[in-house]
A = this chain, B = another copy of it.
Amino acid sequence: MNDSRPIFIPVILGTPRQGRMSEHVANFVVDEVAKQDGVETELIDVRKVLLATDNAGQDIKDSQFSDTVNRADALILVAPEYNHGYPGVLKHLLDTNLKEYIHKAVGICGVSAGPFGGTRVIQNLLPVLRELGLVCIFWDGNFSTVQKTFDGSGKLLEQAYIRRLDKFFKELIWMAKVLRNGRENVSLT
């Protein structure tokens, strides 16, 4: 398992709302994951993916998004909690692809205005991610009271978050490597 190729982990910013604090989280996560050894990343902003709503599911995709997911080894979802569920626009985006996700790793960063770290949007996403064929790791990023965690310009105010993401990244990179090796070398007989 000596594999020096980089691991590609795009970060999906999962809400298009005005004034979204999740944008600060996503930028922070992109910066931090980019510092990990052998990881490449990029930001996917749901605002910038062209999404028709009057389509018939997977038949109309944004080809750039599909291509990015296709090349990914893992995904990070930055998902604010709206009424204990996921943003509709994030789900609409996820539903446009299928085979692109299979046997890849995913980690979730839950974002909430309240004190509970977006745990409820994370729980709500789990069955969906499984059905997509993604493997959701068992560490999460939990961004509580996000309006106090970053200032208005997106500067992190609580340095503890850097250390907290450590195990999350380690586990995600491990799972991404393990599944890539599986996709390439283990047959589904």
Contact = CB atoms under 8 A, between A and B. Distances in A.
Interface of A: 1, 16-19, 37, 47, 53-57, 82-95, 98, 115-117, 119-120, 123-128, 130-133, 135-136, 138, 142, 144, 170-171, 173-175, 177-179, 181-182, 185-189
A125 B94 CA distance: 17
Given A115-B144, A119-B123, A130-B138, 17 more contacts: A37-B189, A83-B132, A84-B127, A84-B130, A85-B131, A88-B93, A91-B91, A116-B142, A119-B119, A123-B123, A123-B124, A124-B127, A131-B138, A174-B187, A175-B182, A178-B186, A181-B181
Contacts of A16: 53-54
A130 B98 CA distance: 21
A135 B136 CA distance: 8
